[in-house]
Structure 1
Amino acid sequence: MCLILFAHQVNNQYPLVVAANRDEFHQRPTDASHYWLEHPQVLAGRDRQAGGSWMGVNRSGHFAAVTNSRDPEQTKAAERSRGELVLGYLQGDLSAQQYLDQLSLRAGAYAGFNLLLGDREDLWYVSNSGPSSEQSPRRLTPGIYGLSNASLDTPWPKVQRGKQVMAEILQHPLDHSALATAVDSRQLASKNQLDLQAMNTEMDQLLSAQFIVGDAYGTRATTTCWQTSAGEFHWKERSFDARGDLIEVVEKEV
């Protein structure tokens, strides 16, 4: 379970504002966000197990992020890692639309994903899950959006809360601490809230918090970033241990 809240072209000064949690098994080896030696234009964390990333930016003003999909038809093992979708875009020089045109030929080689790709002009969303009619890339219109492990803006409680907080944050000068509050709630959703979304298992309850704390699985990192009208990114990533305690901070301007 991951969570990405973002405002696209809501503020002329900051065309993209993002707050996101990466949730993963604690035993999965990971490097915090850094400039990659083999791709020095890329700032992103690294999944050392499969070699890709879950979210990153580059010096050309591009942004990419991916989440898994809960679609049962798309959860089986696949031949390619979803993390390469992020890295493939950030290490190249294609526009988001051009990259998605190429991706359409191989999207079925990945387990279920939701993918966000941005350049200095546009922000796009695509998924390989759900009805085929919903799997065409979408150029997003201005607004505040939420994405977890279902399709874009599925009204899960954690998504709805995050969008409300994001709207409030945008009424004030941006800072990373305030932006992180859009995704930092450790409160579980109520049974009634989950029932409305047909999420009624014990696992659904455990994962319903925005910030997940668990011995084996939980929120590994919170990333906040915004892009200026000049295309530059302000980036801050906080990493956490299994108790939810802060263990590392990376802050960069790209």
Structure 2
Amino acid sequence: MGFLEMYASKQADSNDVQAYLNQVSQEPNQYNGFNLVIGSTKDQQDTVLGYFTNRCDDRFSGNLLQNTHQKSCKGIYGLSNSTFSTPWPKIDRAERLMQDILQKKTDLDGILEGMFEMLLDSSGPIRSREDMQRTIHVEPFLLPSQANGVQLGVIGSKHSSWYGTRTSTVLMISRHAPRRAVFVERDVYGCIEPQNEHTQPTLLDFGQQSIRANHERRYEWSL
């Protein structure tokens, strides 16, 4: 059984977040390393968020991160390829940026655009793999070829390929009735010229309607 199948079957067995986390923690080594964030929300007064990872013995793993019945619950959480106990520098920055967005924006479209701007935040070009821990938006760079070893690739290298942020996604769930969810995904880069090993990806401008029409996917549904 794959991880998603396991998730669906256990979700059907119980809607209790803590009970589900307890079930998953009994078989953590059946799958490659993963971070899992799950939750349930009925209304503003009844929201629960839980976390599990099999990457290491993280002190948050298998526990509830947020329960709105607890007055001390935190409002913003960030997670990348590390764990909650050892956040990368870009996560600390993202949490601060998100807090600022939510304080300044109140309408749906304003918050959406603010979140996409946050996801484009970059600390500069990638010169080593460690740089990816510091930048939210990973500008395209060439992965090392077999010949280059640990060195970053160069254009034209036989085995090199582009690596970077491919898409950005924002999911929003309303706090008040009528309850709705909005899912928006955007391609971040595109190859404008005919693609070959020398073609560098181009950052897409979503201020252009043609770009938005071809590189944005938006879905809305009632809860």
Return closer, same or farther for 1:134/1:248 CA change in 2, 3 Å cut-off: closer
How far apart, CA to CA, are the structure 1 residues paired with 2:81 and 2:59? 18
Return closer, same or farther for 1:188/1:153 CA change in 2, 3 Å cut-off: farther
How far apart, CA to CA, are the structure 2 residues paired with 1:125 and 1:148? 13
Please name the residue that 2:89 is paired with: 157
How far apart, CA to CA, are the structure 2 residues paired with 1:189 and 1:161? 17
Q: Deviations over 1:126-163 (max 9, x none)?
A: 21122265533234223211111111263422112111
Pairing 1:1-254 to 2, within 5 Å after superposition: 80-81=2-3, 83-84=4-5, 94-120=15-41, 121=46, 122-131=48-57, 135-140=61-66, 141-152=73-84, 154-171=86-103, 172-175=105-108, 176-188=112-124, 202-206=128-132, 208-214=134-140, 215-230=162-177, 232-240=179-187, 241-242=189-190, 243=201, 244-245=203-204, 247-254=215-222
Rg larger for? 2
How far apart, CA to CA, are the structure 2 residues paired with 1:133 and 1:157? 19
Do the aligned residues in 2 keep the contact of 1:80 with 1:109 (CA within 8 Å)?
Answer: no
Q: Deviations over 1:9-41 (max 9, x none)?
A: xxxxxxxxxxxxxxxxxxxxxxxxxxxxxxxxx
How far apart, CA to CA, are the structure 2 residues paired with 1:216 and 1:208? 16
State the number of aligned residues: 165
CA RMSD of aligned residues (A): 3.2
Gaps of 5+ in 1: 1-78, 191-200
What TM-score, normalized to structure 2?
0.60
Higher strand content, 1 or 2: 1
What TM-score, normalized to structure 1?
0.53
Gaps of 5+ in 2: 67-72, 141-161, 191-200, 205-210
Higher RCO (C-alpha 8 Å, min separation 6)? 1
Do the aligned residues in 1 keep the contact of 2:25 with 2:52 (CA within 8 Å)?
Answer: no
Report the 3-state secondary structure (helix = DSSP H, G, I; strand = E; otherwise coil) of the residue aligned with 1:223: strand
Q: Deviations over 1:161-195 (max 9, x none)?
A: 111111111213043112323322133389xxxxx
In the alignment, residue 79 of structure 2 is paired with which amino acid? L
Higher helix content, 1 or 2: 2
What displacement does 1:218 show?
2.7
